[in-house]
Each structure stands twice: as C-alpha cells, then as structure tokens.
Structure 1
C-alpha cells in the first residue's frame, strides 16, 4: 500500500451558543474544522483533523510511502522541515497527516485504533469543558446540565477576568453536578495564558479561600518556565499546561523544572506527538490529559497510556458532516469498534455548506488582547482626544 495524494475540506462546528475564553469570543458559535483525507493505491483513505497550512510543504515527505510506517513517517515529516522549523501551523499540518496515517494503519489492520495501539479497554475517563466564558449564569447551568446528565464528575470553567464571577460560577457548577451525580465534582479553572505571575497567584489564592480547585490551567504564558514553577509552588491547585506546545523540546524544560503538575497536549498536534509527550510525562510520574477537539481523536491514544488522567469533552455533538463512533456514558468517553478512528465524513454535505466560520477574528479567543498579563492594577486609562 502506497500514499498517492490528499484532499482537503473544511466543515463547520455549530456549537449552538457563543464560545470563548479570557482572550475573546466567537459570538456566532460557529467555528471552522479543517479535514485532511489521505488517499492510497489500495483504495483505503485516512482521515485527519487539523491545519491545512503547510500541507504542501510536508506532504512530499510521505508521498509514495507505505502509510503503515507511521512513526517513521512522522519523523520524516519533522526532518523535512529541519531548517525552517516545525512549530505553529506546520506542526499542525504534520499532526493532521499523522492522524490520517494512524487512521489508515488501523483500517488496514481492520481494527479500531485503540485496539491496534494495545489498549485493554475502550472506556476513557473524561471531564466536561464548555468553552463557556461568554455565557450568562442561566446559560452556563443549562449547558452543563447536559454534561452532568451524562455522568461527568469533573468540570473545567473558562475564567480569569473577575474573581467574584469565577467564584460564583464555580459554585454554581459544583451545586449542579452534585445534584445530578450525587458527588462533589472536581473543579478546574482555565485562564488561557491571560495572567502575569503575580496576577495568577493572587487570583487563585482568593478562589482557594472558598473553592477546592483540582487544577489551574495555563495561568501564565506557555513558555514561562519560572512563572509556571512559581505558580505551582504558591497555590494548592495543580498547574496544567501544554496544549499549545509543539514538540518534546518545548515540554522538557517545564518537566525538568517541576513547573507542571498535569501535562496536556492539543489534539490538533496529532497522535504520535501525544504518545511521545505521555511517555516523557510518565518518566517523571506526571499524569497526562488531552485537550478536547472535534471528535476527540486522542481518545484512542489516551486509552493506551498508563498515566492518562482524563480527556476534555468540549461538546456533545460533532461538526457538520462528521460522525464519530463514540459516545459519552457514565462520565467516560466510550470508543466504538469501527476500524481506525471511527470517523465518517460526508464530503457532499460539507461541500453544500454556505456558512462562514473561523476561530481567528480580531475579537476571537485565538487573538491575544492588549491588556492580557497587564491587569494587575485594573482597567486601562481612558484615552482623551485632544481639543481642536
């Protein structure tokens, strides 16, 4: 079997609500989902989710190769961009192709990926996370009631801009999950790199006077080894980070400096990346937790690593035109027996879409706002226009 080419499509995830975090909001609740389909001379096709940017650069590294040599091809793609670097969108393109390669390998073996990877079980612990910062309290409760009804017993709130609001919303969620599950939920708060070091410590300590936080996520910038170490030494909550890091070389300083307590990876960076980061974390007795994405592709890999903690579930529906053989039952992601990742893609339905959607608008959560990390003394000064 040889790789013959690829094609791309972009569908839409309609969240049915505004989504966002401390950095911004997608008011339409519609975001784009890039899809990559790898083709082979056998007729089998592999599906990957992730960046289209850089595909033309890295695809020649795997063209006409046997897709079952996934790990070797992953390293070949990294080597292909040795001089220009593999971070950012290029790493995302490598991740999308890597995902499609693993899908192909498992389909060729006629096995679900979790079984091919050697997992004993297909039931993966999960937690709820609704990208919920724009929601009013009533909407927040309505959203998380759906998660609680699926038995999820851990929940992550987007916050970081207002201590009083974060406390109120955390307590709302605690009461909601306790009512539906009979247990006090594990509570997490995600600041999405919006604080300076001292902002982080002050904010978290005030919350910890009232609420038992399981972890605080991305309290400071992703590369700030000293800052992350300061936070983890200054608060009771575990510090979780890693979703925006690309490559083992970016994780190594954090792990070596005891600057992270829960290691995370982003789903869009691919399966081989997750497996390697999980092994690094395991060597330091650290748990790993994949950040959620459409269709939860890292669920298959999470099922096999010994140090998996919990996978993030961001929504209960899949993007338009994508179905996934999985379900959320009793607080777990339950993977099906379909070969590969268990995805099917209706490309005809996607081609009919007329909705525009994106993450990257100026007001969106993927654009860092001007005052991020500089809110220690309150709101910015008013800018007065000079008299004419």
Structure 2
C-alpha cells in the first residue's frame, strides 16, 4: 500500500452557545474545523481533523510511503521541517496527517483504532467543559445539568478574572453536577491569565470554599519554575501542557517537577499523545486529553495508556458533515467498533454548507495586551 495524495475540506462546528475563556469569547459561536483525507493506491482513505498548516511541505515526507509505518512517518515529517522547526501551527499539520495515517492503518487491519493501539476497554472517563465564561448562571447550570443527565460527575469552569463571580459560578456547576454525587469533581481553568503570586492568592481563596481537582493553565505554558512553585503552594493539582507542541517542550516542565497532571491537546495527534503518555507514566503522572471534540481519534490512544485520567468533553454534537462512532454516556466516551478512527465524512453536505456562506470567527485565541498585569481581579477592565 502506498500514499498517493491528499485532499482538504473545511467544515464548521455550530456550538449553539457562546464559548470563550479569560482571553475573550464568541457570542453565537461557529468555528472552523479543518479536515485532511489521505488517499492510497488501494482505495483506503484516512481522515484527520485539526489543521491545514504546512501540508504541502509535510506531505512530501510521506508521499509514496506505506501509510501503515505511522511512527516512522511521524518522525519523517518532523525531520522534513528540521531547520524551521516543528512547533506551533506546523505541528498541527503533522498531527492531522498522523491521525489520518492511523485511521488508514486500523482500516487496513479491519479493527477499530482503539483495539489496534492495544486498548482493552472502549470506555473513557470524561468531564464536562462548557468553554463557559460568557454563559449566564442559568445557562451555566443548564449546560452542566445536561451532562449530569448523561452520568457526568465532574466539570471544568473557565475563569480567572473575577474572584467573586468565580466563587458563585463554581457553586452553580457543583449544584448542576450533584445529581449522582455529593462531591462533584471541580476543575478551574485560567487559560494562562495569571502571574505566580496572583495564582497563589486566587486559588487559595477558591480553596477556602471548594476542593478543586486541578487548576489548569494558571501561568504561561513555558513557565516551568512558576508551575512548580504554584504546585507547592496550593492543594489542587496543577494541570498544563495542552498548548505544548512536541515532547521536547515538556522536558523543562518535567525536569522542574512542574505538572501534577500532564495535558495533551487532542489536536496534536495520536503519536504525540502516545509518546507523551509514556513519558508521563515514567514519572508516575496521569495524563488527560483536552478538547476531545477537536480530534476524536486521539481518544483511541487513551485506551492504550495505563495513566489516562479523564478526557475533556465540550459538546455532544459533532461538526457539520461528520459522524463519529462513539456515544457520550455514563460520564464518559464509549468508542464504537467501526474500523479505523470511526470518523465518517459527508463531503457533499460540507461542500453545500460552505457554499451557503458559513462564518468562521477566529475565537478567543488572541492574548489581551494586559493579561496577567491587572492589579485588581474583580471583573472590571481599567
């Protein structure tokens, strides 16, 4: 079997609610979902979801190769961009091609990807995540109550700008998730919006009232020493890593003893998560997938790791034109038996929607100029 080409599509995810974090939000959110389909000479095609960055340059490293040599092809793509580096957006292109290659490998074997990778249990525990900083209290409660109806007992609140509001909103989330437990798991995500001492003070105030499972991305992603200091100063675990592109970027954090929970963005692909998971396991650290909705194939890798803790579930519906062989129930994700990653693409539906003129806003991905430099965290910009 040989790789002979690829094609790209873009669909959208209509969230049906505002989404955002401490860096900004989208009111009626519709976000772009890039898709890559790798073609082979035997007619088996692989689907990857994530990024269209640098594809032409990266594809030259795998064209004509056997797609089943996935681990080696992952390294070939990294080697192809050696001089300019594989970080950032380029890593997104690598990851999307990598996901498509794993899809082909599992389809060729006639097995679901989770089984091919060595998983035993198709069920993955998860937690609800509303990307919810712009939701009203009533909307917040309704979102997490909907997940509680599906057996979820843990959820993550976005915040970090207004202590009083976050204390109140954590109570709303706890109440909504209380259907199946008297002690729901509460996570808190500041999206890199604090300095170290801001984080210590803020989390200490939250912990006077709530027993947090973890505090996520409290500091800038590269601040290994700061994360280690913070971990020693609070009760909650410190979780970080979703925006680090490549195992090499985790090395300073591991050396500093910085992360208590190692996170991987789902969009960074399957090979990345497998390698990161084993590196974390060698340090007795749990791993967690962020943004399962962005790349559902990565969940298959979690079934094969001994240290997977829980996976972020942000929505119950796939993007337009995509079907995923999974069920969100019993507080997690139940993967199906469809060969491959379980992703089916309706190209005609996606093309028709694109012609209808879908909006694709960029989202809350631009850091505010005064982030981390506010003296008073009371929800008011001055």
TM above 0.5, yes or no, is: yes
Task: Report if the CA contact (8 A) 2:292-2:299 is conserved.
Answer: no
Query: 1 CA distance for matches of 2:62 and 2:361?
Result: 29
Query: 1 CA distance for matches of 2:191 and 2:359?
Result: 22
Gaps of 5+ in 2: none
Query: 2 CA distance for matches of 1:32 and 1:269?
Result: 16
Whether 2:375 is the aligned partner of 1:373: answer no
Q: With structure 2 as the length reference, what TM-score do the two structures score?
A: 0.97
Query: 2 CA distance for matches of 1:376 and 1:238?
Result: 25
Q: How does 1:1-388 map onto structure 2 within 5 Å?
A: 1-178=1-178, 180-294=179-293, 296-353=296-353, 354-360=356-362, 364-377=363-376, 381=382
Query: 2 CA distance for matches of 1:259 and 1:15?
Result: 34
Query: 2 CA distance for matches of 1:359 and 1:217?
Result: 25
Task: Report if the CA contact (8 A) 2:292-2:311 is conserved.
Answer: no
Query: 2 CA distance for matches of 1:340 and 1:17?
Result: 31
Query: 1 CA distance for matches of 2:77 and 2:249?
Result: 18
Query: 2 CA distance for matches of 1:174 and 1:8?
Result: 42
Q: List structure 1 runs of 4+ shifted beyond 6 angstroms.
A: none
- 1:147-167 Cα shifts (integer Å, max 9, x gaps): 110101111111111111111
Aligned-pair distance for 1:356?
Answer: 3.2
Task: Report if the CA contact (8 A) 1:190-1:219 is conserved.
Answer: yes
Aligned-pair distance for 1:297?
Answer: 2.1
Query: 2 CA distance for matches of 1:201 and 1:357?
Result: 40
| Matching residue of 1:386 | none
Aligned-pair distance for 1:175?
Answer: 1.4
Q: With structure 1 as the length reference, what TM-score do the two structures score?
A: 0.95
Aligned residue pair count = 377
Query: 2 CA distance for matches of 1:158 and 1:40?
Result: 42
SS in 1 for 2:367: coil
Aligned-pair distance for 1:380?
Answer: 5.8
Q: Using a 3 Å threshold, how does the CA distance of structure 1 residues 278 and 234 change in structure 2: closer, same or farther?
A: same
Which piece of structure 1 moves more, 371-380 or 346-355? 371-380
Aligned-pair distance for 1:45?
Answer: 0.4
SS in 1 for 2:263: strand
Task: Report if the CA contact (8 A) 1:296-1:313 is conserved.
Answer: no
Gaps of 5+ in 1: 382-388
